[in-house]
Chain A
Amino acid sequence: MIDTKTNITQTILDALTASGNKVGYMPDAKVVEAIRYVEENGIPNNKHEDYKYCNLEAVFRKDFKVIGNKFNSVANVDVHKLKNAHNIVVINGEYNESLSDKISGIKLSTLANAGSELKAHITKYANVNSDAMVALNTAFCSGGLFISISGIREKPIHIINVVSAKENAVINPRQLIILEKSAEVTLVESFVSENNSGKVFQNHLSEVVLNENSKLKSYRLQNEDENSHQVNTVQVDVSRYANYNTNTFTFNGALVRNNLNAVLSGDLCESHLNGLFISSGAKLIDNHTLVDHQKPNCESNELYKGIAKDKSTGIFNGKIYVRKDAQKTNAYQSSKNILLSEDATINTKPQLEIYADDVKCSHGTSTGKVDEAALFYLKSRGIGDENARKLLLQAFAQEVIDKIEIEELQEKVIKLFEKAL
């Protein structure tokens, strides 16, 4: 058993090394540490508690033992752009300056060109010894993207991640986003694919730093094709008085695993994590969240909703960790799911780990079907079965969709939601 484990991990490490994507900015010691961690722990499979329902090893074994890492060129991404935002384009994991808008007043570059700030922050938040996928990204990350924001930005920033693989590919894009003291910004991230002729595994990692009193409102829209697999790790550090708000919408992709970790490292700060997904076909959508309350008087909220169709699997795993010093913590978490087919599966695991006593923490999760009584009510008023169901599901999702404050994006999400239904 141990042999096969090292074999598949080693094969993947060799393949990634051979595909040669060395970047200069990652300290050598970290790369060595990261590779050692992957070698010791292997690619996560269902024996790893955190990947119990999401066997990545099997995915790698099936499609990514041999990696061509050849890509198509993408010349036009206009359809994905938001009109009322600064658009930044990342193609196959590399920042594309010529397709991106010029934005004055912020620092924007590849990670390699990030200068002195890079050293102060990189790998400081996403610990290579915490997760094999973080370690893999650390060892093999691409050119990456660095954004640093100060002051209040009215216009949202939109990062478009386009993937177009010619042959089976594994990419490890990396982002470092810093909000300076009292900075405020809205950030949208879209994940899309164009004409994938090969399968692609995107192991995306973001380190996000919210300095004192800063405010980040972020959206992630995941709508890749069925050749795309994605692990999306977001490691957020929230300082004193800061406010982190994120909304994740997942509509397509063969496998989407989101690791969203918010560390509330200062007092009196807050985090709001929301999500909505629809899984269909044989897809697997896995939302993992961790809210780590380290300091007193913080607040965290979570609302995740999911709909599983066909033979798909939807997973929610939310962990709230309240440390000894984090007195007066208020933490709330809710996960609601609907199963639409006989063959679909929903697995949820809401976890609380609490070491402080003066806290108010609660979580609730429910899984069920469309409410028969509500359905009957609508039908008795002349609405057909199909439309009535659609209406109810829309109402179910609306609570999360309503949180979108950008009109253009909201319309897009509603369209994608209706299409996915």
Chain B
Amino acid sequence: MANEILKEHIDNEYKFGFVTDIEADTAPKGLNEDIVRFISKKKNEPEWLLEYRLKAYRHWQTLTEPHWAHVTYPKPDFQDIIYYSAPKVKPTLESLDQVDPELLKTFEKLGISLEEQKRLTGVQSNIAVDAVFDSVSVKTTFRETLAEKGVIFCSFSEAVQEHPELIKKYMGMVVPHTDNFYAALNAAVFSDGSFCYIPKGVRCPMELSTYFRINASGTGQFERTLIVADEDSYVSYLEGCTAPARDENQLHAAVVEIVTHKNAEVKYSTVQNWYPGDKDGKGGVFNFVTKRGICLEDNSKISWTQVETGSAVTWKYPSVILKGDNSVGEFYSVAVTNNYQQADTGTKMIHIGKNTRSTIISKGISAGFSNNSYRGLVQIRKGAHNSRNFSQCDSLLMSDKCGAHTFPYIEIKDKSAIVEHEATTSKIGEDQIFYCKQRGIDTEKAIGLIVNGYCKEVLNKLPMEFAVEAQKLLAISLEGSVG
């Protein structure tokens, strides 16, 4: 019985593993100053940005890869990666008719039909999508609707051209180019990404969404997202990712920066579904990203919600720097690893302002031969009076070959702070499954039920459309992993 289910699951292929045949405009393999200049020139960037890239590149050369994470993987050869690959599309796009039809098909397969989005214009609950294909943002929908409210939502390179003052002011504010190895690499070679600015007092009328897809072989994806919420504003931002199934490992090293001003709130949700490699652990995406937000002024809030089911290796710590007084940071995470996947993920909450609060809920599920680690830091700086943190990290083990680990760092320098952390590790109780079975629910469904219940606290935080997708993904990722 167990074997049958397991076999069924193993044969279950990655459903987004297709390649789109679009002529791509690519840079030669490898990295040197010329490549950095090439990318900058391709994007028609101003001088200061090129300088920034070169500064980052030179700094990157002095760094070595970090090895502290609880993951093992073959060291990527940074000279064997294509740092720029843009699908050949027409320079400006007025309507969807001008988008390469092949590309549209790709998005349809991904389940984000730009056509459909367009058709449904006017419906308030819609989502504006910025699709990043390989390295270039292809099409941003609903720009006009958003512009009426003064919301800027466009690709990063467009923002560089149209709003250089904002980019100059905020880029690198939260994740400077000196931050870490992959952030430095990203700062040197980032190709595109999304930029979002919510002006004062505006509650963004729709959810903003970015879809990332790596397509061309041997390319790395280095996108950069910058979200700025000005005073009294609110935005809910979604991010999804896919990649085709390939034998070689692909590198994804993104940077996400969030800045919130007074009374502003940003809610950032991700469903990460990069190609995880096949059942023998061959191929898959290396996901080394730096995500960080800063509550710059009082009463602001940043909330990260993530569902991590993909990637061969994940190395990701969405963090919040709580600088303003009374600011709030949240981190809700479900990380699922199966087969030979490895995930080392968690968060950092840096409390600087007074009365700052943070909540961390992390749910790890490991199956197959995978390793799943939570690594988090809660730091209460001196002077962060009456700060409060609550962390909960639970792990669920679905096979006797996998591993679940917790590495929380808690550093407290203020006596009025209250910090709590708790973690549990266990497997699904046989009595729970027995209970379901005696009520006529088969093992497979019972597991789905229990896992969904286990993750509920996090899934509840996702916007509706995403929550449905996330639940499906969980089911696919775990199908048959317990017999």
Interface positions of A (Cβ within 8 A of B): 49, 324, 327, 337, 339-369
Contacts and interface: CB of A to CB of B under 8 A. Distances in A.
B395 interface: yes
19 contacts: A337-B412, A339-B417, A343-B382, A345-B412, A350-B423, A352-B395, A352-B405, A353-B403, A357-B397, A358-B400, A359-B427, A360-B424, A361-B425, A361-B426, A364-B422, A367-B410, A368-B417, A368-B419, A369-B417
Interface in B400-449: 400-427
Given A354-B425, A364-B421, A369 B403 contact: no
Contacts of A344: 413, 415
Given A356-B400, A364-B423, A369 B416 contact: yes
B398 interface: yes
Nearest to A340: B415
Given A359-B397, A365-B421, A369-B416, A348 B426 contact: no
Contacts of B73: none
Contacts of A324: 400-401
Nearest to B411: A347
B69 to A, nearest CB: 12
Nearest to B406: A352
A357 B424 contact: no
Range, interface on chain B: 20 to 34
Contacts of A339: 412, 414-415, 417
B68 interface: yes
A362 B407 contact: no
B217 interface: no
Contact of A357 (B413, B414, B421, B427): B427
A361 B419 contact: no
B382 A362 contact: no
Interface string B382-394: 1000000000000
A357 B400 CA distance: 5
Contacts of B426: 359-361
Contacts of A364: 420-423
Contacts of B422: 362-365
A368 B421 CA distance: 12
B412 A350 contact: no
Interface of B: 68, 382, 395, 397-427
Contact of A349 (B398, B410, B413): B410
A361 B397 CA distance: 11
B400 A347 contact: no
A351 B418 contact: no
A377 B316 CA distance: 46
A366 B403 contact: no
A363 B406 contact: yes
Given A357-B427, A358-B400, A367-B410, 9 more contacts: A339-B415, A344-B415, A352-B395, A354-B425, A361-B424, A365-B420, A367-B419, A369-B416, A369-B418
B425 A362 contact: yes
B67 to A, nearest CB: 11
B425 to A, nearest CB: 4
Nearest to B422: A364
Contacts of B409: 347, 349
Nearest to B372: A354
B406 A366 contact: no
A327 B397 CA distance: 12
Contacts of A351: 405-408
A345 B411 contact: yes
A277 to B, nearest CB: 15
Lowest 9 A-B CB distances belong to which pairs?
A357-B397, A339-B415, A368-B418, A362-B424, A364-B422, A352-B406, A361-B425, A348-B410, A366-B420
Contacts of B403: 353-355
B404 A352 contact: yes
Contacts of B417: 339, 367-369
Contact of B415 (A341, A350, A355, A363): A341
Contacts of A363: 406, 421-423
Given A342-B382, A360-B426, A354 B416 contact: no
Contacts of B427: 357-359
A349 B414 contact: no
A360 B415 CA distance: 33
Given A351-B406, A354-B395, A359 B413 contact: no
Contacts of B398: 357
B395 A342 contact: no
A152 B420 CA distance: 42
User: Which of A324, A343, A357, A362 gathers the greatest number of chain B CB atoms within 10 Å?
Assistant: A357
A352 B412 contact: no
Given A49-B68, A342-B414, A361-B424, A366 B419 contact: yes
Contacts of B399: 357
Contacts of A365: 408, 410, 420-422
B425 A350 contact: no
A351 B407 CA distance: 5
